[in-house]
Structure formats: C-alpha cells, structure tokens
Amino acid sequence: MSTKQDSLRIDWLALRIADHACRADIEIYAHGRYDDHGCVYDLLRPVMQGKTDAEGDAFALARVQDAAKYIRLRGGGLLGWRMEQAGDHPDHVRFVTVEPQS
C-alpha cells in the first residue's frame, strides 16, 4: 500500500524525469540544422528515426510538440538551459545555457 510520502516521492521523480527527457525528445525527434549560434530545431518537422510510415511521423511530431509545451509551461532556466525562439518562426527553437545567478 502506497503512503502519501511514497506518492510525493513518485511525483518528484516523475517531474525530475520529465525535466530531463523533454529536451532530449526535441533533440532526438525534431529536425535540426546548424547556424552560426548552434543547432536550431524545427518543432513542426519531425525526424522519424528510421521509420518510413505516417504512424512513425505522427509519433515523432507528438513527442516534439508535447516536449515543447512542457518546457514552455515549466519555464526556462530551471536546469541550466532554456529553450528560445530562433529567428522569426515561433516553431524554430534552440537551447541556450543559462549562467547561474550569484
């Protein structure tokens, strides 16, 4: 039987896992290109990771969109990085390092 303390630990672990997985989902499943400032990810252009069907494309796009929503709702700079818009298109993003505040 799970206690309230166990439930809080599970919630904390789930949040911690989500915090670390969200950026990786974008880096893995979104098409990236390099410019003078590093990699820019297109949140509307998934990478199917070797899959060649529409189902794989839909899966990758859903992972990218969910991860971007999570990052935007969670706020920037919590993990030493933030996601910011790259250029004029709101679905072109890059990750930048956030320096710790003294």
Answer yes or no: is 51 within a domain: yes
* Residue showing tokens 């509307």: 44
The verdict on pTM exceeding 0.85 is no
66-75: average pLDDT: 92
Q: Is 102 a member of any domain? A: no
Exposure of 1 in the CB half-sphere (CA atoms within 13 A):
1
> How many domains does the structure of the chain reveal?
1
- Between CA 86 and CA 90, with CA 89 as vertex, the angle to 5 degrees is 80
73: Cβ contacts below 8 Å, ≥ 6 apart:
none
62 belongs to a structural domain: yes
For residues 15 and 25, what is the distance between their CA atoms, to the nearest angstrom?
15
Q: Are 24 and 73 in contact (CB under 8 A)?
A: no
2 pLDDT higher than 80 = no
Lowest mean pLDDT among 57-61, 65-69, 92-96: 57-61
Mean per-residue pLDDT of the chain: 88
pLDDT at residue 49 greater than cutoff 70: no
Whether residue 84 lies inside any domain: the answer is yes
Residue 78 lies in a domain: yes
- Whole-number pLDDT of residue 74: 87
Residue 60 lies in a domain: yes
Which domain range does residue 67 map to? 4-97
37 part of a folded domain: yes
Instruction: Report residue 83 as tokens.
Output: 């996601």
